[in-house]
C-alpha cells in the first residue's frame, strides 16, 4: 500500500516540486545520490574503487519531454564517457532509454543510443540499458537486439524478476549470449503481469539467478571487472539471503568468481558491498548523479518504509 502510494508520487508533478524544494529531502536524497555533477561523483567512485568495488555510473534523468532534452541527455552521456576515461576509474555506465527519447520517437532514441555506444566502444566502456516500467520492456529489448545486430557488443540489458514473462525473456536473451543484470523490479505493476507477492518475486529471482550462473559457466565469455566486458550474469540485489544462496550455488557448481558479479545501489548496504568484495567476489555499485534525482529517490523510499520514516523524522526535527 505504502509502496504503491510512493510509486504513484514518483511521477506526480506537485509532489516533485514539494520534495525537490525541500532542503531536508535533498539531504536525505544525498544518501542515495553521489552528487549533482560528475566531478562531485568522482570521489565516491574512487572510494569504491579503493575498496576493490567497481561502479556503473548513471546520469539521472528519465521520461524527457522534448527531443531537445533527449539530445542534451545524450551529450551529457558522451561527456560522461570522456570523463570516465580521463579519470581512469573502474567504471562503466547505466542509462535509461526514456532519457534518450524512447517515449517520443523510437528513431531518435536509437540514434542517441548509437552515438553513446560508438563513443563507449572507442573508450572501451560497457553500457547497461536499465529497464523501466512494463510498457517499455518490449521496446527496450527490441532496441537491445537492434544494437547487437548492428555489431555492438559493449551493451547489456536488465531483467526484472517480478514480471511473469522474465523467464522466457531470459531464455531468449541467453540464446544470444546477452549480458544480463537481474533485479527484482522497482515500478508499480499490475497483478496481471507481475507477481503481487514478494515471496514469489524472491523465488523467481533465485531461480533466474541460478539460470544465469549456469549460462555464464557454459558460455565462458571473457570478463573484465572494469569498464567493458562485465560477466554475463550480474546479480543486482541487496537481499543477503539471496546473495548467500547465489554464492553457495556458485561454489557447489564450480562457477568461477569472475563469471558473475554482484551489484548494489550507492548508499545501500555498504557493509555488504565491502564484505563481498573483501571475500573476493566481483562487486559493482550503481552510482547515480545529477539534479533529476526525484523519481529515483522516491523509488528508494518505496523499497523500504524505514527510509520514509527517516525522511519524515528529519523533516519534523527541522
- Give Cα separations from 178 to 140, 217, 234 (angstroms): 13, 14, 11
* Beta strands per DSSP E along 176-282: 180-183, 233-236, 260-265
Which region among 8-16, 98-106, 180-188, 218-226 touches ligand FDA (by CB under 6 A)?
A: 180-188
Tell me how long the chain is.
318
Q: Which are the catalytic amino acids?
A: 130, 181
Query: Which residues lie below 8 Å from residue 224, measured CB to CB, with a gap of 6+?
Result: 230
Q: Residue 115 in 3-state DSSP?
A: helix
Burial 97-131 (b: 16+ CB within 10 A, else e): bbbbbbbbeeebbbebbbbbbebbbebebbbbbbb
CB nearer to ligand FDA: pick between 67 and 312: 312
187 makes contact with ligand FDA (CB under 6 A): yes
Instruction: Sort 196 into a burial class: Cβ within 10 Å, 0-12 / 13-18 / 19+.
Output: exposed
160 makes contact with ligand FDA (CB under 6 A): yes
Which region among 59-67, 83-91, 290-298, 303-311 touches ligand FDA (by CB under 6 A)?
A: 303-311
Per-residue contact string for residues 4-33; x = within reach of ligand FDA by CB under 6 A: ------------------------------
Applying CB under 6 A, among 102, 154, 166, 263 the residue interacting with ligand FDA is: 263
CB nearer to ligand FDA: pick between 218 and 312: 312
276 makes contact with ligand FDA (CB under 6 A): no
CB nearer to ligand FDA: pick between 101 and 156: 156
Interface residues with ligand FDA (CB under 6 A)? 130-131, 158, 160, 183-187, 236-239, 263-265, 268-269, 286, 300, 303-304, 307
Amino acid at each position: 500500500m505504502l509502496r504503491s502510494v510512493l510509486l504513484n508520487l514518483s511521477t506526480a508533478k506537485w509532489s516533485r516540486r514539494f520534495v525537490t524544494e525541500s532542503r531536508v529531502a535533498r539531504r536525505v536524497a544525498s544518501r542515495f545520490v553521489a552528487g549533482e555533477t560528475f566531478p562531485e561523483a568522482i570521489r565516491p567512485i574512487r572510494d569504491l574503487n579503493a575498496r576493490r568495488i567497481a561502479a556503473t555510473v548513471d546520469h539521472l534523468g528519465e521520461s524527457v519531454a522534448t527531443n531537445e532534452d533527449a539530445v542534451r541527455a545524450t551529450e551529457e552521456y558522451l561527456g560522461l564517457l570522456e570523463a570516465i576515461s580521463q579519470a581512469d576509474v573502474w567504471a562503466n555506465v547505466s542509462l535509461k532509454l526514456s532519457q534518450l527519447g524512447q517515449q517520443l520517437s523510437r528513431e531518435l532514441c536509437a540514434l542517441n543510443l548509437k552515438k553513446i555506444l560508438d563513443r563507449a566502444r572507442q573508450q572501451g566502456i560497457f553500457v547497461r540499458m536499465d529497464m523501466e516500467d512494463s510498457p517499455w520492456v518490449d521496446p527496450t529489448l527490441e532496441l537491445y537486439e537492434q544494437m547487437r545486430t548492428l555489431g555492438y557488443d559493449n551493451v547489456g540489458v536488465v531483467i526484472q524478476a517480478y514480471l511473469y514473462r522474465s523467464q522466457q525473456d531470459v531464455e531468449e536473451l541467453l540464446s544470444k549470449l546477452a549480458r544480463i543484470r537481474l533485479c527484482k523490479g522497482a515500478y508499480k505493476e499490475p497483478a496481471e503481469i507481475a507477481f503481487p507477492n514478494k515471496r514469489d518475486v524472491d523465488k523467481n529471482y533465485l531461480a533466474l539467478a541460478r539460470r544465469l550462473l549456469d549460462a555464464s559457466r557454459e558460455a565462458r565469455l571473457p570478463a573484465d571487472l572494469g569498464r567493458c566486458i562485465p560477466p554475463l550474469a550480474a546479480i543486482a540485489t541487496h537481499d543477503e539471503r539471496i546473495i548467500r544462496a547465489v554464492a553457495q550455488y556458485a561454489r557447489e557448481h564450480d562457477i568461477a568468481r569472475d563469471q558473475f558479479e554482484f551489484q548494489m545501489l550507492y548508499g545501500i548496504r555498504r557493509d555488504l558491498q565491502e564484505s563481498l568484495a573483501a571475500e573476493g567476489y566481483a562487486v559493482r555499485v550503481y552510482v547515480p548523479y545529477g539534479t533529476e534525482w526525484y523519481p529515483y529517490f522516491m523509488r528508494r523510499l518505496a523499497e523500504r518504509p524505514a527510509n520514509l520514516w527517516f525522511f519524515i523524522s528529519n523533516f519534523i526535527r527541522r
